[in-house]
Amino acid sequence: MLASEADILGGYSFGASLALRLEDPRPRVLIAPFADLKKETGRGGAVDTTQIRHLLRRLRRDPSAAIADFHRRCGIEPLPLSASFDLNRLGWGLESMLQPAPDVPAMPMGSIAVAGCHDPLLDSELLQRELPGLHLAEGGHHPQPLLAVAARLRQDGALW
């Protein structure tokens, strides 16, 4: 993790999952977080472990196709890979998701977590049990509508 003087930490999807686990007193804004993406653990993920392994293998063979397919499955418009895209970091992230996920520490006061109730990567009912302060919003995995909900919640003071 990089040191930051920010007052609030934030993340989307895997980044939110990493921020969720930080031992840091600052509040968080977490968009589409997950405690464990693997469906088999029953902790809110809806992706079979074999799918994650398959994506990792495909990423090594054909990165553009693997990423485009993943985006389509998530309902996100596929973007072309830029020359600065770090495939090693993406591979590290997928390998990390295959490991046993640690317990989630208590969220700091003032935190917000929002997930789409139709997110194909998440089981929102199980995820709410894992993250009791999670707000469910209409939508899927795309960050834009979830960010809008998080902004409204923050404005209304509906914090963790």
The CATH number covering residue 95 comes to 3.40.50.1820
Residue 2 lies in a domain: no
- Encode 66-98: b = buried (16+ Cβ within 10 Å), e = exposed: bbbebeeebeeeeeeeeeeeeeeebeeebeebe
Residue 61 lies in a domain: yes
Structure tokens at 55: 């994506």
What pLDDT digit, counting tens, does each position of 43-64 carry? 999 999 999 999 999 999 998 8
Average pLDDT for 74-95: 82
Residue 4 lies in a domain: no
Residue 105 lies in a domain: yes
Average pLDDT for 92-101: 95
Q: What is the pLDDT of residue 76?
A: 84
Question: Residue 150: which pLDDT band, with cuts at 50, 70 and 90?
Answer: very high
Tell me the percentage of the chain whose pLDDT exceeds 90.
72
Average pLDDT score, the chain: 91
Residue 54 lies in a domain: yes
Residue 127 lies in a domain: yes
d(CA 124, CA 2): 30
Domain that holds residue 116: 9-156
Residue 56 lies in a domain: yes
Q: What is the pLDDT of residue 51?
A: 95
Residues in contact with 30: Cβ distance below 8 Å, sequence separation at least 6, in sequence order = 10, 11, 16, 19, 20, 111, 112, 113, 114
What's the whole-model pTM score?
0.89
Question: Residue 13: which pLDDT band, with cuts at 50, 70 and 90?
Answer: very high
Nearest 5°: the CA angle 65, 92, 121 is: 60
Structure tokens at 134: 């999670």
Residue 3 lies in a domain: no
d(CA 99, CA 79): 28
Count structural domains, the chain. 1
